[in-house]
Amino acid sequence: MSNRFDPYQYQFDPLSSFLRSKVV
């Protein structure tokens, strides 16, 4: 997991995006 925002990683990791969405 990267600290900075990675649009590419988000697109490939929907779960990560979901978790981050909850944290942020």
pLDDT at 22: 72
C-alpha angle 21-13-20 in degrees, rounded to nearest 5: 15
What proportion of the chain, given as a percentage, has pLDDT over 90? 0
DSSP secondary structure, 2-14, as one string:
-SS--HHHHHH-H
What burial class does residue 24 get, using C-beta atoms within 10 Å of its C-beta: 0-12 exposed, 13-18 middle, 19+ buried? exposed
pTM of the model: 0.28
For the cut 60, the answer to whether the pLDDT of residue 18 exceeds it is yes
pLDDT at 23: 64
**Mean pLDDT (the chain, rounded):** 65
